[in-house]
Amino acid sequence: MSGTKIRPLSRLLDSSDARFWVIGPDGTLVYLSGGIQDWLDVSPEQLLGRRCVAGSPVSDDPLDQIAAMLSPPPGLEKRGTASLRIGALQGSSVTKSVATTEARFFCVGDNDDALIFGVAGAFDDRAVDVEVQDAVAIRQRIDNWRKMSSKQASIVTAGDSTIARRLRHRLHVASLARTDVLLVGPRGCGSERIAKGMIDESSIVVDGPLMDSELLDATLSPLTNSLTSSTSSSLADSAEIFGSAIIRDLEQMPVDAQVRLAYWHQQFSGRLRLIGLSQTADGQDLNGSQDRDSDPGKLNWAETQAHGLSEPLIDLFCACVIPIGSLSDRVEDLSVMASALLDRRRAAGETKADRFNRAALDAMVIYPWPGQFDELDHSIRHAARSATSDAIGPADLPLAIRSYRPGDPLLIAKHAAVDLDKAVASFEQRLIDQTLDSTGGNRAEAARRLGISRARLLRKIGETP
């Protein structure tokens, strides 16, 4: 083919054994790869410019017969793609016997400008590969999610579960209203990624636990100065400036800094948006519900206040609190999120793997993900770099995931949340009961053996000394 743009491609094809050819809009062969010569025992240059149309060859010339053999089936221009078994023509005078080979054709362009590409070889894609089918289905789910979530395209929101759909809907409403938002979820849930995806204006990230009122003023100063300059500008046509502040671990921010934050919000009412990130205790939602079928959006404001938010911030965020469910409650979303994360790694050139096999997906589904979305992201990065084939298997996953076995008491204890006060109280009560049994109910002897006073023992068992 002519032109400098096609030359790198033609050189790559010529250096391989690919049997590839191109038919121009006028039905003549305009390009044939070097592999054609090994296949047909004819130099590609001898076939260039010859008519390549379905039906009989234009002459008895063996080269015209070969050109006709390379023609696509009729009607390809309308169908776009087709397959054909290619072999020597009946009555052909071609001296070399050409083995019957399957060829694939596809049409690019419209009407008079269409090009037809052909490639011959052995194709095994007709066989059903269930893992490839799974990968195709997951890709369709990812595409659908991206179409529905063009603005909040954080991978944390991907999936078809009720939690994922409600999360996307709430974020969409919050973005349209440009309201202040409190994102509540377990540590590592990806709330900061979601917050950054909501912002298309100047912003700043604040570490809540490190702040006092003076440090908060200094941290916010680039944003507040910009907003102040916009307010005092004398230019009538100057665009009004908006800004957002993302506050990490809002519930751990000192009360004086929380009050100061509410002050700055009031100073730039409507132009300074606050996006608070708050962590739930032990990975639970704020109303303490462990029922996975319940709505994680039902938040108890009394417990929110006890969780660390001051009254001014409760009033500020009460209009929009968005819960982010635990990853273990979104099992049906794991394959979509993991595949989307793998796509990102592959696009960055970190891996050649483009999918997960079923065993790897099963291992990720049964794993409890105590580190939430951040752990999933790190695990996919590890697997992408470890993979040696196009499909990631269990051996490529981190050891914690591939060695996890549900039902193992030791592993359950490792990942389960522990209430230390209750555990200590339970142990203490069992020890007291055992000591009283061994002394026949003698309080004084039991207290001596426990190393505490008799009065203290009586208080612990609910008896007045």
Q: Give the Cα-Cα-Cα angle 25, 31, 32 (nearest 5 degrees).
A: 135
Domains and CATH numbers, the chain: 7-121 (3.30.450.20), 162-233+240-328 (3.40.50.300), 351-415 (1.10.8.60), 420-460 (1.10.10)
**What angle in degrees, to the nearest 10, is found between the helix axes of 420-438 and 443-450?**
130
Q: What is the pLDDT of residue 382?
A: 95
Q: What is the pLDDT of residue 80?
A: 75
How does DSSP assign 93-123, residue by residue? --SSPPPPEEEEEEEES-GGG-EEEEEEE--
Distance between CA atoms of 398 and 367, rounded to whole angstroms?
A: 11
Closest listed residue to residue 334, CA positions, set 192, 181, 194, 156: 156
Q: What is the mean pLDDT of each run of 10 residues along the chain (465 residues)?
A: 61 82 89 87 89 74 84 76 70 55 85 85 70 82 75 79 90 89 92 89 91 93 87 54 92 91 90 90 42 45 58 87 90 92 90 91 92 94 92 94 76 59 82 88 86 83 69
Q: What is the pLDDT of residue 95?
A: 45
Q: What is the pLDDT of residue 188?
A: 92
Q: What is the pLDDT of residue 419?
A: 67
Distance between CA atoms of 285 and 208, rounded to whole angstroms?
A: 20
The whole model's pTM is what?
0.66
